[in-house]
Amino acid sequence: MSGFKLVGRKNRIEFSQVPNELLEFNEDEIILDSGKSVEHSNGFDVGGNSLNEKVKRNTVKHSSKKPNYLKKLPKIARDHPVYTRLKGIDKWIGTLSKEEVSDKLKQFQLECNGKRDVLSNRLKHFYKHQLLIMAALQEKNKYSVPLTYDYFVVIDFEATCEAGKQEEYRHEIIEFPAVLIKGTTGEVVDEFRQFCRPSLEPKLSDFCLELTGISQETIDASPSFIEVLDMFKRWLEKHQLGTKYSFSLVTDGPWDMGRFLLIQCSLCGITFPEFALTWCNIRKIFSNYYDTRRYPLSVMLELLGMEFEGRAHSGLDDARNIARILSRLLLDGANLRVNERIYLGPLPSQNQKPIPKDLKIYDLSSVVVPISSEEFKRYYKCQMKIEDDSLSARVEGIKIL
């Protein structure tokens, strides 16, 4: 029989050696040894969300601060016959009903909850990964994509607010939550949460109290933002993030860093933290990987067959739910990397417009710019370091009217 066989052995997938000319296989020739636990090759247990300790012990550890995404990988010839086969598989999956796609996912012990488009793309990525391994275009028993970071830190700020649309409202951060996710397992390692006492408007509006569920008593007893930021930095140091382990911030959209944190640092007259200059906008990753429109948190959860857990507009609960989406993306083999940054002018080898003199802190299009895949590689290869006075001068020079 041509094709390949997935056999659970020591919680790893073993593949028979198949020459390239035998890549034309029938879908029925992909067989699972149903009596054993099989691990999907991105490091997760494909039988569900839980992971056993044996898989964790076998996980490769990364200690480099530089993202592992930059490690040299074999170049893939796009004219390889495997891509012709992949196009055929994509078309075939497109003809299947949701129930048929779900049955195929169950056959491979993959997650089968969610909307049809998400399920179809999950199955397509699974077939693609297996074919690339067979064609020797991707290593066996490795992640379906290079592991980008050792850890991910999910952040979702809550800030002061008023009813009605106010584009130039001076938001102050009142809740600073973070959820630490291990890149190799998708598991929650730790959480950070501190409330902050605003200085411009220490008394929260009725609208803000109702929206966030944060009480005035909690705010009155909380430290200042500067104190909380120092606590967060010590929390990062405790987990050796940025020193022994690489990490990326993860947000749902550009607003947390490009608006809330930037405004807050400007109001406090402090340097914008270097660790927040770049981040992973999970809304973009989700849209690109599952081939959907860019949806808010609640819809992304719905598309994955999940329900929101906790209280909406609680910063920590929002961060926890974003972390659930992050874990599912990792499980499905998505490549999570930073894709947005604070605009500090051109990066090396980039032809961009000069820094606008009238940079407005409220205008996200002026403050936040996307990071392409190629720019991502150049950005970290150059190990670009931001001097204290480069961004601090820019931030402190912006007047908040």
Rounded to whole angstroms, how far apart are CA atoms 398 and 188? 37
- 164 and 187 Cβ atoms separated by less than 8 Å: no
CA distance 258 to 256: 6
340 is catalytic: no
Beta-carbon contacts of 91 under 8 Å, excluding residues fewer than 6 positions away, are none
SS3 188: strand
Which of 158, 175, 340, 375 is catalytic? The answer is 158
Using the 8-state DSSP alphabet, how is residue 39 labeled? B
* Contact assessment for residue 187 and residue 207, using Cβ atoms and an 8 Å cutoff: no
3-state helix, strand, coil in the chain (%, to 5): 40, 15, 50
- The Cα–Cα gap between 73 and 66 comes to 16
CB 242 within 8 A of CB 151: no
Whole-angstrom distance, CA of residue 133 vs CA of residue 131: 5
Q: Provide the residue type at 110 as one letter.
A: L
Provide the 8-state DSSP code for 302: H
Which residues on adjacent β-strands are paired with residue 45? 39
Distance CA 108, CA 261 (A): 43
CA distances to 28, 31, 121, 282, 350 from 1, rounded to whole Å, are 11, 11, 27, 42, 51
Marked catalytic residue, from 162, 201, 313, 396? 313
Active site residue 158: yes
The neighbour count for residue 380, using CB atoms within 10 Å, is 18
Angle (CA) 245-251-257 rounded to 5° is 95
Could you give the residue numbers annotated as active site? 158, 313
